[in-house]
Amino acid sequence: IYQPDKVDAALSNYFRPGNLTALRELALLWVADRVDAYLNAYRSEHRVSRIWGSRERIVVGLTGGPEGRTLIRRAARLAEKGAGGEVLAVYISRSDGLTAVSPKELAVQRTLVEDLGGTFHHVVGDDIPAALLDFARGVNATQIVLGVSRRRSWQYVLGPGVGATVAVESGPDLDVHLITHDEAGKGRGLPVARGARLGRSRVIWGWAVGVLGPAVLTWLLTSAVPDVGLANDMLLFLTLTVAAALLGGLFPALASAVVGSLLLNWYFTPPVHTLTIADPKNIVAIAIFVGVAVSVASVVDLAARRTHQAARLRAESEILSFLAGNVLRGETTLEALLERVRETFGMESVALLERIGETGPWTCAGSVGPQPAEVPEDADVDVPVGDHMALSLRGRVLPAADRRVLAAFAAQAAVVLDRQRLQREADRAKELAEGNRIRTALLAAVSHDLRTPLAGIKAAVTSLRSDDVEWSEQDRAELLQAIEEGADRLDHLVGNLLDMSRLQTGTVTPIIRETDLDEVVPMALGGVPEDSVDLDIPETLPMVWVDRGLLERAVANVVENAVKYSPPGERVLVSASALADRVELRVVDRGPGVPDEAKNRIFEPFQRYGDSPRGVGVGLGLAVARGFAEAMGGTLHAEDTPGGGLTMVLAVPTAPARRPEQPDLPATAAH
């Protein structure tokens, strides 16, 4: 709807054939999506299993081989021919989880199908054709794209293959496309070696028992113990076949059955020394012997394979459990995780590489071991993690079964790296926030707590210099005392600020030496009224191992804080006692006390409990005291006073029994 004066401009500028065609396509796509959503809901509600083709939905069956890229691109071209076409790539793995596929190739194909606007799905099923058809019917697909089988011509004796089976069982509702590719007829590669399942030494012993054992047994039966009977001879040869199966698996047992049947026929079945069997019963006996031998060998080989699979699955489950625990706890560092990868897979070095963009240079985010790979192409094993990260290992080439667990390690390594970076950013933000808080508090202190004594000094000096008033000697003394008290306040506040800045920058270097506590504590009480403190320092206390200057400043700050918050007339008790390898100095007051949740907060810089304006100070006294105590290897914490109040406990280490004498340096040298 346009205003009359804008109709001509709109018709000439916007409502052109190209724009109208684009709008029509968008409308058709929107309608197709809505119809498809309603159709799926209706089919689900009414349990309709048949395919109702409202739009082209193409399922691509992937095997994990390199031909998958060709199939995905062909399916995308088919989808482009119809409005609203959709591509769904599906990879079907067996339930045992041991199919030999390349996780790297699957990751590449996942990225390709997502770049082309499709979706990737992973389905578990032992019957691959049935699972593929069930998936296609479940998503209401109209077409299936499969690649021509990679099996060799002789392998078709074992069955028609997945493509032919899907084409036969698809029915009239599904179109099946078989796409040729460069990998057709080249085979799927060799299966896992049986020696890897049973061990090389067992396989060698199995072949020795299966091939040489019948020959040795024949020599013994013909020379040492002849005429034991054909039935007993067959049982002895069957025993060798079972032993070969137990040791070496299927093929040594089959070889033992063949060699044993030939030797039985030649040496023990009339007429001897010929391959002719006169008695039909003997033919049946030898046939049963071969059948039993093959059956036993097959069962033993199957048990060996299942044992190998169970062991691998157990190892994988333990590793994945380890990874899951680390994810929940968030304890493992990147280097520790990479070291676990190196130990688990027996590699020389492991590196996590990353880059910015598709063409940016690779950089190492973390590595362990000598000479880690600098680019993924230099590694023996390369596992991609997303588009811009890869886990690269050097040492040996891993089978596909190991790559599955390695992919989980790679994903966890990326998570750990992101977590470490986020933690560093959080720590940096916390430091900045703490710095801002301290700066804000410092400004408040300068603007109020430092300004107040300056104002008093300024007023007293101005009064003394005034010629309009004749001051008496007593007035002059009081004004001078006010100036002195204000200067002392400023000196105390500035001293605490400087001490706090030294603690924040880590420049406090205590000079530790053997000290007597009763020599330091009385000196720390000079800043409080004489009648406000009761001192109880036993002469039997052991010597302490502290910096005298820092200890004096810490005790002074704690005592001044206790006196400031004590009720009028109440005296602060300062007592000391020895406990194990430390001496505890307790400063007990009867003030209002501090709740448990605030006991640690009062030791933070610029904190005064309840923001109390009582007295002077910027809330640094206890923070400086704790910092000095920790710098000397001691502690400072708060406890409730029985009956009400707060007790500060300053614990410092006792002096060692024997320590080389050090020069008696002045405490100011530490500052």
What is the DSSP code string of 543-608? Answer: PEEE-HHHHHHHHHHHHHHHHHHSPTTPPEEEEEEEETTEEEEEEE--SS---GGGTTGGGSTT--
Q: What SS3 state is found at 181?
A: coil
**pLDDT-derived band at 150, boundaries 50, 70, 90:** confident
Alpha carbon distance 143, 81 (integer Å): 13
The token pair at 230 is 């054909």
Instruction: Please identify which residue in the block is written with the tokens 């009414």.
Output: 46
Report the DSSP beta bridge partners of residue 586: 575, 649
Q: What SS3 state is found at 97?
A: coil
Q: What SS3 state is found at 612?
A: coil
Residue 101 predicted with pLDDT over 70 = no
Say what the pLDDT of residue 669 is: 38
For 224-261, letters b (16+ CB in 10 Å) and e give eeeeeebeebbebbbebbbbbbbbbbbbbbbbbbbbbb
Give the max Cα distance, the chain: 153
Please, are residues 184 and 149 in contact by the beta-carbon 8 Å criterion? yes
Q: Which of 121-135, 172-186, 445-459 has the lowest mean pLDDT?
A: 445-459
Q: What mean pLDDT comes out for the span 94-110? A: 67
Half-sphere exposure of 464 (CA within 13 A, CB side): 17
Enumerate residues 6+ apart whose C-beta is below 8 A from 329: none
Q: Which residue has the higher pLDDT, 104 or 210?
A: 210
Residue 613, preceding bond cis, omega within 30 degrees?
no
For 117, which DSSP code?
T
Half-sphere exposure of 414 (CA within 13 A, CB side): 18
Please, are residues 75 and 60 in contact by the beta-carbon 8 Å criterion? yes
Please, are residues 405 and 316 in contact by the beta-carbon 8 Å criterion? yes
Give the angle 23-28-34 at the CA atoms, nearest 5°: 125
Give pLDDT tens digits for 215-266: 888 888 888 777 777 778 777 888 888 888 777 777 888 888 888 878 877 8
Instruction: Please identify which residue in the block is written with the tokens 């307790």.
Output: 586
Enumerate residues 6+ apart whose C-beta is below 8 A from 559: 524, 525, 527, 528, 533, 572, 574, 587
Please provide the DSSP assignment of 463-512 as one string.
HHH-SSS---HHHHHHHHHHHHHHHHHHHHHHHHHHHHHHHHHT------
Domain spans of the chain? 1-48, 49-179, 194-306, 451-499, 509-670
Alpha carbon distance 178, 184 (integer Å): 11
Q: What mean pLDDT comes out for the span 572-596? A: 90
Please, are residues 354 and 360 in contact by the beta-carbon 8 Å criterion? no
Q: Which residue has the higher pLDDT, 83 or 580?
A: 580
Sheet hosting strand 363-368, strand order edge to edge = 363-368, 349-354, 389-394, 381-384
Say what the pLDDT of residue 192 is: 42
Say what the pLDDT of residue 648 is: 93
Report the DSSP beta bridge partners of residue 277: none
> In this structure, which topology does domain 509-670 adopt according to CATH?
Heat Shock Protein 90 (3.30.565)
**pLDDT-derived band at 610, boundaries 50, 70, 90:** low
Residue 572 predicted with pLDDT over 90 = yes
Say what the pLDDT of residue 668 is: 42
Say what the pLDDT of residue 312 is: 63
Q: Which of 165, 157, 156 is nearest to 185 (CA)?
A: 156
Say what the pLDDT of residue 589 is: 92
Q: Which of 570, 580, 574, 561 is nearest to 618 (CA)?
A: 561
Alpha carbon distance 97, 38 (integer Å): 36
Alpha carbon distance 163, 160 (integer Å): 8
Q: Classify domain 49-179 by CATH architecture.
A: 3-Layer(aba) Sandwich (3.40)
Residue 671 predicted with pLDDT over 60 = no
Residue 493 predicted with pLDDT over 80 = no
Residue 557 predicted with pLDDT over 70 = yes
Helices (H), 264-364: 280-329, 334-345
The token pair at 370 is 């000598």
Say what the pLDDT of residue 587 is: 93
Residue 361 predicted with pLDDT over 70 = yes
**pLDDT-derived band at 659, boundaries 50, 70, 90:** very low
